[in-house]
A and B are shown apart, each in its own frame.
Chain A
C-alpha cells in the first residue's frame, strides 16, 4: 500500500506550499529580530539585544526542525518495513514503506473489527429470530396431529427456543465492544489520513513564526512538536504493529481467528435475507413436521460458536483499540518530550483522558 504522503502530489504540496510558507515565516521573523536588535543597540537596551540573540538561535532550531522533518518524511517513504522485520529476525510481512504500513495496519484492524462485529451480529440475529419463534401444539395428539384443533382451538402456546436471554446478554456486551473497536480503528485511520493530507504541515510555518513572538513561544513549540510527533512517532508505532499482523489481526488466517467451528461460517449474513418472507413460512412448516432443530440448523448448520464470537470480539478490541491507543499515547508523550527539546514544558496528559 502506497501512502498518499509518499506520492508525487504530496511532494508538490510540500515544495510549493509548505517550504515557501516556512521561508516567508523565517524571513519575516528574521526581519523582526533584526529590527529588535537594531533598536536594542540604538537605545542601548541590553534586554532587547539579548532577546534578539536568543531568538536567532531559536529560529535556527525551528528551521533545522523543519529540515529534519522533511528528511525523516523522505526516509519513512523509502525505508522498507518488511526489510526491517528481517533485520530483527522476523518473517517479512511484505514490502511497504513506514507510512504505508501504518495505514495498512489500521485498514486491517478495521477489517478485523468489522469481521468480529459481523460474527457477533450473526449470532445475535439468529438467536433473536429463534427467540421470537412461537409454536402452538394442539391437545389430544395422535402422532403430530392434535385433535384438539379440529373443532375449535385447544392447545398449548410456547416458544420452543426460549428467550436465549443469557446468550444474548453475553453477546450484546461484545457486539458493543466490537462496534467500539470498529469505530475506534476507523477513527485512528481518519486521524492518520488527516495527518497524511498535510494538516500538520501548516503547523510548521506557524510554529516557526510564533516561537519568536513574545509570549507565544509555548504555543509555537507545541505546534512544531505536534507536527513532528504525529508525522514521526504515530505512524512509526503503527508500522511496528503491522509487523505483528499475523498474530494481532490473524492476517495469515484471512483476518479471522483460527477457531473451531470456523468463524468464516458466520460471515455470510445473506442466510437471514434468504430466510425472510416465504422462508419464514418454510421454517414454521419445518419446525412443525421435522422438529425445532430444523430452524436452528438453518442458521447454524455447523453449530453456533458463542464463545468463539466473544473471543473474536475481545481480540478485535486488542487490535482496534488497545494497540492504536498505545500508538497515540506514544505520540502524545513525544509531544511533551519534543516540546522540552525546544525549552518548553507542555503537559498534554489531559488529552489522553478524552480517549
Chain B
C-alpha cells in the first residue's frame, strides 16, 4: 500500500496541462486518505480504516481513468473518424451535424410548403360574397369546403415545427460536445471524481461528455442509415420523393358561386375536393420525413444518450437517476 501511495503521489510529474491538475487532485486526495487511514488505525476506529481503504481503491480507479482517458483519446478519435460513421466528413460529429442540417433544411422546406398551402387554403376559405342596396341584401359563402382543411393543416404545422425544434436541440448538444467534451467535461469530470464530495458530479460530467460526444451523434447516424436503407428499397416509393404541388390558380374559390355546375357539385366544391385529394396524396411523403427522419431519429438518439449517461456514470462510480432527463425527450 505504501508503494502504491508513493506511485499516486508521483503521478503529477508524468503529465502536463489538465492531467497535472488531475494529478495534483489525486495527490491531495491520497494525502487525505492516508491521514484518514492513519487516524483510523491509530485510534482503532474500524469505520475510518474501512473508509480509508475504500477511498484508496477509488483513487486507484481514478488514476486508471486518467490513464485510460489519455490512451483512449486516440481510440475515441478513431471511432469519431471511422469511415463507417463519417461518410466523407472529417468526424462522426461533423457527419451527424451535416445530417441534422440536411434534415432541418428538408423540414424547413416542408414547413414552408405547409405555410403556403395553409395561407392559400384559408384565404379561399375566408371568402364570402355580399350584396346590399338600400339596407336590403344577402351574404353567401360557398367556400366551406376549404375551411375544414384548416385543422389538419395546423396539426401538420405543429408536427413539423416540433421536429425542427427537436433537431435543433440535438444539433446544439452536438455543438456543445464538439467544443467542450474533451477539453472540459471529461478532464474536469476526472478531477472532480478524485474528491469524494464531488464524485457524483465528476461521474456525471464524464458520462455527459462521452454520451454527448459519441452516443448522440452515433444515434443520429444509425437512424439515418436505417432511413437511407429504407429509402433505397422499392417499397419506399409511396413515402419518398417530391410532393405534388397544388395548383391554386385553378382552384380558387368563387364565394358567390353556390349553384351546382358539375353534376350535383358546385365548382367550389369540386376545387376544394381537388385540393383535399392532392394534400391527402402528399401526406405519406411528408409523414415519412417529419415523423421518421425529423422526430423518431432524434428521439432514438436522445434516448441512447440518456441511457448511456446512466450506464457510464454507473461505471464511473456514481450512478445518477436520469429519468428526469429522459422525460424531456
Q: A325 → chain B, closest Cβ, in Å? A: 6
Question: CB of A163 within 8 A of chain B?
Answer: yes
In the complex, besides A318-B169, A329-B204, 6 extra interface pairs with C-beta distance below 8 angstroms are A156-B127, A158-B126, A165-B151, A168-B157, A352-B321, A355-B327
Contacts of A162 in B (CB 8 A): 118-123, 126
Contacts of B180 in A (CB 8 A): 90, 243-244, 247
Kindly supply a per-residue 1/0 record for chain B positions 132-165, scoring 1 wherever the CB is within 8 Å of any chain A CB and 0 otherwise: 1110010100000000001101111110111011
Q: In the complex, what residue of chain A is closest to B208 when comparing beta carbons?
A: A326
Are the C-beta atoms of B256 and A326 separated by less than 8 Å? no
Question: CB of B183 within 8 A of chain A?
Answer: yes
Give the contacts of B86-118 with A (CB-CB under 8 A). 104, 108, 111, 114-115, 118
Nearest 5 Cβ contacts at the A-B interface: A170-B161, A166-B157, A152-B133, A162-B122, A334-B200
Give the contacts of B286-314 with A (CB-CB under 8 A). 313
Give the contacts of A303-341 with B (CB-CB under 8 A). 306-307, 310-311, 313-315, 317-318, 321-322, 325-326, 329-334, 336-338, 341
Task: Please pick, from B48, B115, B168, the residue contacting A314 in the complex, using a CB distance under 8 A.
Answer: B168
Q: In the complex, what residue of chain A is closest to B323 when comparing beta carbons?
A: A352
Give the contacts of B163-187 with A (CB-CB under 8 A). 164-166, 168-169, 172-173, 175-176, 179-180, 183-185, 187
Distance between Cα atoms of A170 and B113 in the complex (Å) = 13
Question: CB of B233 within 8 A of chain A?
Answer: no
Interface SS, A side: helix
Contacts of B69 in A (CB 8 A): none
Residues of chain B whose beta carbon lies under 8 Å from any beta carbon of chain A: 17-18, 21, 45, 47-48, 51, 104, 108, 111, 114-115, 118-123, 125-134, 137, 139, 150-151, 153-158, 160-162, 164-166, 168-169, 172-173, 175-176, 179-180, 183-185, 187-188, 192, 196-201, 204-205, 208, 255-256, 313, 318-325, 327-328
Contacts of A87 in B (CB 8 A): 17-18, 21
Are the C-beta atoms of B198 and A332 separated by less than 8 Å? no
Kindly supply a per-residue 1/0 record for chain A positions 54-76, scoring 1 wherever the CB is within 8 Å of any chain B CB and 0 otherwise: 00010000000000100010000
Task: Please pick, from B132, B160, B172, B328, the residue contacting A315 in the complex, using a CB distance under 8 A.
Answer: B172
Q: In the complex, what residue of chain A is closest to B136 when comparing beta carbons?
A: A152
Are the C-beta atoms of A172 and B200 separated by less than 8 Å? no
Are the C-beta atoms of A232 and B198 separated by less than 8 Å? yes
Contacts of B162 in A (CB 8 A): 170, 173
Contacts of B165 in A (CB 8 A): 173-174, 177, 310-311, 313-314, 317
Given contacts A240-B205, A313-B165, contact A164 B320 (CB under 8 A): no
Task: Please pick, from A88, A159, A236, A307, the residue contacting B126 in the complex, using a CB distance under 8 A.
Answer: A159
Are the C-beta atoms of A163 and B118 separated by less than 8 Å? yes
Contacts of B164 in A (CB 8 A): 170, 307, 310-311, 314
Distance between Cα atoms of A170 and B133 in the complex (Å) = 43
Contacts of B48 in A (CB 8 A): 57
Are the C-beta atoms of A343 and B47 separated by less than 8 Å? yes
Distance between Cα atoms of A163 and B132 in the complex (Å) = 27
A-B contact pairs, 22 of them (CB 8 A): A88-B188, A90-B180, A139-B131, A152-B137, A153-B130, A156-B129, A157-B126, A157-B255, A159-B126, A162-B123, A166-B153, A166-B156, A228-B197, A232-B197, A233-B198, A236-B198, A240-B184, A311-B165, A314-B166, A314-B169, A315-B172, A337-B318
Kindly supply a per-residue 1/0 record for chain A positions 274-310, scoring 1 wherever the CB is within 8 Å of any chain B CB and 0 otherwise: 0000000000000000000000000000000011001
Distance between Cα atoms of A338 and B151 in the complex (Å) = 53
Question: CB of A198 within 8 A of chain B?
Answer: no
